[in-house]
Amino acid sequence: MSNDLGQIKDVIIGGKHKEIEDLVKAAIKKEEVSLDSIINDAMIAAMDIVGQKFADSEIFVPEMLVSAMTMKKGLNIIKPLLQGDASESKGTIIICTVKGDMHDIGKNLVTMMLEGAGFNVVDLGVDLSVEKVIEQVEQVRPEILGLSALLTTTMPEMKKVIEALEEKGLRNNVKVIIGGAPVDAAFAQKIGADGYGDDATEAVRQARRLIAEN
Amino acid sequence: MKSTGHNLIMSALYNGRKGDRPPAGNPTSIVCQDLMDACGVSFPQAHLNADAMADLALAGHEILGFDTVMPEYSVHQESAALGCDVNWGDRDTMPDGKSFPYSDFSDIEIPENILEKPSMRVVLDALSILRRSVGDKVAIMGKVMGPWTLSYHMAGTQNFLLQIGMGENEKVIKMMRQLMPVTIAFANAQFQAGADVVCLADHVTGDLASPRHYQELLLPLHKEITPQIGGPLILHVCGNCNDRLDLFAEAGFEAYHFEWQMDAKSVVKKVGHLMSLAGCINNAQVLYQGTPDDAYTQARYAIDAGVNIVGPECAIPLTTPLENLKAIVTAVCEGY
């Protein structure tokens, strides 16, 4: 890996958000460094390490948020320059936090990781009613719908969304991934979801799997 | 000692005489749709009207058999008084904050008459109604938010945590210091209104922050808060907090309300000699999705482990079946 990519990777892992833009701009100017490598070998690779550190309790949400913010600042410089394969969407994903739940940190981290992995993500925000989610699925026609809930009091909303997709005849056209502190793989299976992500890194893995199976 | 709910709870808070059975208690909400239907009181009235609030709290004892009555079902009473827009929900939805008035971390303006703001006054009035209603039959439990949780509501959770990640310690400590008086005043007012014990919820949870964050940013404030409140306090922090239990035990709380994801035996072994323990029946898998047998089994495990007050680990989902909650009471009624 080039020194430029290594430095970009390090500042993302370390959350040095003030340094990322200059490093990315400098890397872009070098012929031997491709945009694709900046994204895949530096940024996504860095976030994979950040995700692992989080899973191992070496870092916590505050540090992960700063790393994600740092990656996004770098990605914003690259995005307008992307052409061809690198800019080709890996698939469209609608994501939201379910009705009655205003918590969005996990959803935002997953969104950032999915965008970094090349997916087109439509973030509907928080506190989304079943009706609003269905309306957006009908309109956007995503390959995947991601549902997030932090509270045990709001996790039943996930089941309601899946039931509504079935009632509207939309269930066969969209895969559903769920995530959030109170839910697990067993709950995902019980309510008929197609995947469960324990953290943002796993959410990306699940999205890749479901798109590949499609 | 007479084994009234009140005596069992108060004794359990100080690890005192055990009576003939452990108490069932709820530092956080045990309201579900079935309980609302059974007593004829629903959200949002139960957040906004003192009589409705007290009636729903009483149902926790009269219908479910818990040894506590706890009339606060949201985490937004203080934030509403401090200027947040709050949607108080309905029978199917818990209340939620809709705005973050101090996302810029500017100085927080605390109204001089904050205890008279409707969302605060209603809790105090409900506690007084309960005091007159239950006497010393069961323990009356109040609830306040600590400065960490109030900061989530003032600045937005992600924004608050991001500042911590960026090392802006001065900024976050300033905000929490400005909010501390609200926690202290509301807790003391709840005791004056009739509470026997107050749950202080401060969500420095293992899912969101590290033990170092707690130790450096919040523990010093907790150590200042606890001596200024004139009654027993139960700290509620959800999530896996195994890595900071010893720090919680330093902060001056009488008890800690914890989740099932921490093994009850290990928690009791680690800090049971320093503070009483409440909890820890799992919400998501057991109370919401499981059976009465599942809830009973976990409650017996908690009792055998030495948990002093047995109850749900956190505010329960509104679709929780009543029978699963009653199974906790069945388990405690079998004694030790």
Q: Which of A60, A102, A154 comes nearest B209 by C-beta?
A: A60
Q: pLDDT by residue (tens digit) across B141-176? A: 999 999 999 999 999 998 999 999 999 999 999 999
Cβ atoms of B307 and B24 within 8 Å: the answer is: no
Full-model pTM: 0.89
Which 8-state DSSP code applies to residue B107?
P
Q: How many CA atoms lie within 13 A of B131 on its CB side?
A: 15
Q: Which residues of A touch B (CB under 8 A)?
A: 15, 17, 57, 59-66, 69, 99-105, 108, 127, 151-156, 181-184, 186-187, 190
ipTM of the complex in this document: 0.85
Going residue by residue through chain A, which has 214 residues, state the pLDDT in tens, using 9 for 90 and above.
Answer: 678 999 999 999 999 999 999 999 999 998 888 888 898 889 888 888 887 888 788 999 899 889 989 988 998 898 788 755 455 678 999 999 998 887 788 888 888 888 877 889 999 998 889 999 999 999 999 999 999 998 888 889 999 999 999 999 999 999 999 999 889 999 999 999 999 998 887 898 899 999 988 7
Shortest distance between the Cα of B249 and any Cα of chain A, in A, equals 22
Residues 6+ away with beta carbon under 8 Å from A183: A149, A155, A158, A196, B284
CATH 1.10.1240.10 domain range(s) in chain A? 3-87
Q: Is A181 exposed, middle or buried (0-12, 13-18, 19+ CB in 10 A)?
A: buried
Rounded Cα–Cα distance for residues B300 and B215 (Å): 33
Q: Which fold has domain A3-87?
A: 1.10.1240
Q: Is B210 on the interface with A (CB under 8 A)?
A: yes
pLDDT per residue as tens digits for the range B104-125: 999 999 999 999 999 999 999 9
**Contact flag A187-B289 (C-beta cutoff 8 Å):** yes
Rounded CA-CA distance B124/A187 in Å is: 39
Q: Please tell me whether residue A34 adopts helix, strand or coil conformation.
A: coil
Residues of A in contact with B162 (CB under 8 A): 62, 65-66, 69
Contacting residues for B20 by C-beta, under 8 A, at least 6 apart = B3, B335
Q: Which residue of B has its CA nearest to A58?
A: B210
CB contact (8 A) between residue B165 and residue A105: no
Domains with residue ranges and CATH for chain B: 5-333 (3.20.20.210)
In a mutational test of the B interface, the residue from A61, A123, A129, A196 whose CB has the highest number of chain B CBs within 10 Å is A61
Q: Are B52 and B71 in contact (CB under 8 A)?
A: no
Per-residue confidence in pLDDT tens, chain B, 336 aa: 999 999 999 999 999 999 999 999 999 999 999 999 999 999 999 999 999 999 999 999 999 999 999 999 999 999 999 999 999 999 988 898 989 999 999 999 999 999 999 999 999 999 999 999 998 899 999 999 999 999 999 999 989 999 999 999 999 999 999 999 999 999 999 999 999 999 999 999 987 899 999 999 999 999 999 999 999 999 999 999 999 999 999 999 999 999 999 999 999 999 999 999 999 999 989 999 999 999 999 999 999 999 999 999 999 999 999 999 999 999 999 999
| A150 three-class SS | coil
Each residue of B3-20: pLDDT tens digit?
Answer: 999 999 999 999 999 999
Nearest by Cα to B261 from B234, B243, B235: B243
B213 contacts on A by Cβ (under 8 Å): 60, 62
Q: For residues B64 and B23, is the Cβ–Cβ distance under 8 A?
A: no
* Chain A interface test: which of B34, B43, B93 (most A C-beta within 10 Å): B93
CATH of A92-213, one of 3.40.50.280, 3.40.50.300, 2.30.30.90, 1.20.1440.230: 3.40.50.280
Q: How far apart are CA B134 and CA A5, in angstroms?
A: 68
- Phi, psi of A184, deg, nearest 5: -145, 180
Pinpoint the residues of chain A covered by CATH 3.40.50.280: 92-213
Q: To which residue do tokens 């989902």 refer?
A: B317
- Nearest residue, CB atoms, B318 vs list A101, A127, A153: A153
DSSP string, B215-234: IIIIHHHHHHHGGGS-S-EE
The residue length of chain B stands at 336
